[in-house]
Amino acid sequence: MCGILAVLGCTDNSQAKRSRIIELSRRLRHRGPDWSGLHCFEDCYLAHQRLAIVDPASGDQPLYNEDKTVVVTVNGEIYNHKELKAQLKSHTFRTGSDCEVIAHLYEEHGEDFVDMLDGMFSFVLLDTRDKSFIAARDAIGITPLYIGWGLDGSVWFASEMKALSDDCERFMSFLPGHIYSSKQGALRRWYNPPWFSEQIPSTPYDPLALRKAFEKAVIKRLMTDVPFGVLLSGGLDSSLVAAVASRHLADSEAFQQWGSQLHTFCIGLEGSPDLKAAREVADYLRTRHHQFHFTVQEGIDALEEVIYHVETYDVTTIRASTPMFLMSRKIKSLGVKMVISGEGSDEIFGGYLYFHKAPNKEEFHQETCRKIKALHLYDCLRANKSTSAWGVEARVPFLDKEFINIAMSIDPEWKMIRPDLGRIEKWVLRNAFDDEKNPYLPKHILYRQKEQFSDGVGYSWIDGLKDHANKQVTDAMLMNASFVYPENTPSTKEAYYYRTIFEKFFPKNSARSTVPGGPSVACSTAKAVEWDAAWSKNLDPSGRAALGVHAAAYEETVDTKAADLKNGSPQKPQGMLEKTAAVA
C-alpha cells in the first residue's frame, strides 16, 4: 500500500517548493518504504512513496504513457490489469506494474475509464498536454484519499491528511466511488451499482453463486510478487478467507513461489477468545500460524502513535486499530508485506448484533446500504492505516465489486436474523460454505457467533482503556467538553482522551470534520436505538456491552439446515442442499 501526494496549480514552482513537496511526501514513507518518486511539470507536482508488491524491480512511480505526456501516481492494486492490458494491444508498457494500465486507459477512453478498474485504488492523473487532471477513489473507499485547497488556488490530494493538513486552508475526505475532474472543477460519482439507491432487491438466494463469487474474490487477491498471509481471528469472516486461500494453494503461482503452506496471523491478550479460535482454525486448515501477544499497557503506550496514523478519534476504531497496529509491526518483522483480511462482511450481511432487532427486511437492507457507504470512515480506514503504518498492505475480498453486487442483490428476507428458523447473523454466508461432503470449516466454527475485534483480542483490553482514560480525564473536563469541543462533543472520558490526542496532531477544523461525530450509542449507530430504545442508555459502542443477545441467544441453532422448511419462510431453492454439498 503506497502513499501519494499531488499538488496541482500552485503559484510557486521554486526549488523551495519542490523541497517542501518532498518533505510532505516523506510523511507518508511508512506507507511506501521501498522507493520514492516525484514528477514536476511547471506548477504541478506528483509524488509517490512505494510499497512494492507487484513487479518490485521495475514498477516505480509515477507511471507514464509512452511519450510521458500522461503522468499518474497510484495507491492500490488493479486485479484485472492483465485483462485490461490485452485490450490495449496498441500501447507499449514500460513496467510490469498492475497500475500502469491507468495511463493507457485514459488515453483510450478519457475520464470515463474508472469503472473498468477492478481493484482498490486512489490515483491522481495529470495530462500535461492541456494541464488537466483527474483524481479518483475506489468504489468503497478501501484505500484512503484526501482532497485539499490552498490559498493560492492549488488543489491537493494525499493518501493521508498529515501530508496536506499544514499547507491547505481546507481539506476533506475524498468520497469513495467518485472522480474529481479539473475540467469540471467538481466531484462526480462513477460508481452507481443497483443497490446504491437502497431499493429493496428481490433476487432469490443462490448459495452456490454467493460461494463462487467469494472464492473468485479471494483468488484474485493472491496476485503478489512478495510474501503474504491471512489475518485470522478465528471468526467466520477471516476463517472463510483462510479456508478459500488454503484450498487454492496448489494452483496459485504466488503460493508456489513462497512455499506450500499458507501463513496466518493473530493477536490478542493472553487467553483471549481470538487466539484460541484462530489456533483451532489454523490447525484445521494446517496453516503456518503465527500467534502474537500484547499487554494492555503495551496497547496504551501505543495509543498516540495509533491515533497519529489512523487519523481519527472514533472510539471503536481506535480500540480495534491498536492491536491491528501492533500485529502489523510483528508481521512486517517476518518479511511479509501483504495480508488478506475479512473486513466488510458484517456490513454486507447485517452481521452486527443490533441487526437482531431489525423490524423488517426493508429496514434491514437500507441499514446494510448505509453501513457499506460509511465503511471508508471506519473499518476500511482502520484496516488500511493500521497496516500501512508498518508498510504492510491489507486486501479485503468481501469488498470486491462483483461480490458486493451479488450479495446485495439477494432478497434481504434471507439475511434477516430469525431464531425461529434457526438463522443467526450472516446465515446466508454460513450456509453457502456449509459443505457436508468437503467441509470448508468445522460446523461449530462456521456458526460461531460474532465477536467484536476489540473484544475478541481480550475483554480486559476495553476495560483497561477505560480505566486509563478515567485517570487522564477528570469529571470537570468531561462536564465542560461541549465548550472545549463544540463539534462532535465527546460523551465519555475515553472519547475525550482520544480527542485530546487527535487535536494535538491535527488541530484544524477541517481535520476534526473528517471524523464522523455525535454521541456514541450502542453499536455506534443511531439505528440500533431506533430499533430498540433501551440501547440508548448504553453509551459504549462495544458489541458485548450494548446487547444482550451475545453467547446464549442461539444455543439451539448450530445446525440450521432443516429449520428453513417451516411454514412462512422463503422456500429454499430446489436441490440447494445437494448442490451445496457437491461443490468443493
Q: Catalytic amino acids? A: 2
**Enclosing H/E stretch for 64:** strand 63-64
DSSP string, 210-230: HHHHHHHHHHHTT--SS-EEE
- 403 is written with which cell numbers? 461480490
* C-alpha cell of residue 162: 498529515
The residue among 147, 143, 144, 136 whose CA lies nearest residue 188 is: 136
Q: How far apart are CA 135 and CA 181, in angstroms?
A: 7
350 is in an annotated binding site: no
Q: What is the DSSP letter of 54?
A: S
Return the residue matching grid coordinates 503465527: 290
Q: Look up residue 425 and give its amino acid.
A: E
Give the integer Cα–Cα distance in Å for 514 and 161.
9
Euclidean distance between CA atoms 135 and 291, whole angstroms: 40
Q: Compute the C-alpha angle 184/187/191, nearest 5°.
A: 120
CB neighbour list of residue 213: distance below 8 Å, 6 or more residues apart = 400, 402, 403, 406, 407
Residue 340 labelled as part of a binding site: no
Distance CA 207, CA 558 (A): 18
All cell numbers assigned to 193: 451499482
Contact predicate 521/354, CB 8 Å: no
User: Nearest to residue 380, comparing CAs of 257, 388, 180?
Assistant: 388
Q: Does 3 appear as a known binding residue? A: no
- CB burial of 167-187 (b: ≥16 within 10 Å; e: otherwise) equals bbeebebbbbbbbbbbeeeeb
Q: Residue 60 contacts by C-beta under 8 Å, 6 or more apart in sequence?
A: 35, 37, 48, 50, 95
Number of Cβ atoms within 10 Å of the Cβ of 521: 22
Q: Residue type at 30?
A: H
Angstrom distances, CA of residue 189 to CA of 140, 331, 441: 12, 36, 39
98 annotated as ligand-binding: yes
Q: Quote the CA–CA distance of 349 and 429 in Å, as a whole number.
A: 8
Q: Whole-angstrom Cα distance, residue 410 to residue 238?
A: 22
C-alpha distance from residue 140 to each of 32, 121, 184, 373 (Å)? 22, 10, 23, 7
**Cα-based angle 434, 291, 554 (whole degrees, multiple of 5):** 35
C-alpha 562: how far from chain center: 35
Best CA proximity match to 55, nearest among 107, 98, 116: 98
Report the run of H or E that residue 340 belongs to, with start and end: strand 338-340
- Cell numbers 489512523 correspond to 310
Grid cell at residue 569: 419462510
DSSP structural state of residue 270: T
- Residue 342 labelled as part of a binding site: yes
Residue 332 corresponds to which cell in the numbers above? 512486517
Q: Which residues are annotated as a binding site for L-glutamine?
A: 98
Q: Which residues are annotated as a binding site for ATP?
A: 231, 267, 341-342
